[in-house]
Amino acid sequence: MKVNYLLIFVAALVGAITPQPLLAGESAVVNADRVNVRNSPSVNSEVFAQLAKGETVSVLETIAPQKTELGAPAQWSRISLPATVPVYVNASFVSKGIVTANQLNLRSGPGEQFSVLAKLARGTKVI
């Protein structure tokens, strides 16, 4: 009987100290300084921004890549871009805050040499 209670206690303790993955739509606080924001879930992908310790982000999903790279985390969180992270589009394809092109690349910097972060459809509102 004592062994059963000990096993239950150990299982509860392990569950309490094991970090749980974040659910979609949850807010999270950055717990380290200069956390890299990347354009894909890879340690080899472009870093286009950094987050400071204490910033709050909205987690859209958490994924575990099938093949992990050396030094890569077991899980990645896809987040909404905070307002402090600048992104760019070609201004000639935006009219009064609405995308006029059929498809517009959202880039990490002001130029075609920068990575495409997302593709915006015609009619999408931008600020």
Structural domain spans, the chain: 22-82, 86-127
Question: Average pLDDT of 2-10?
Answer: 44
Rounded Cα–Cα distance for residues 4 and 10 (Å)? 10
According to DSSP, residue 55 is labeled -
Q: Which amino acid is at 121?
A: A
pLDDT in tens, 47-100: 888 999 999 999 999 988 777 778 888 888 989 888 888 888 888 888 888 999
CA angle, residues 91, 96, 100, in degrees to nearest 5 = 60
pTM of the predicted model as reported, rounded to 2 decimal places: 0.64
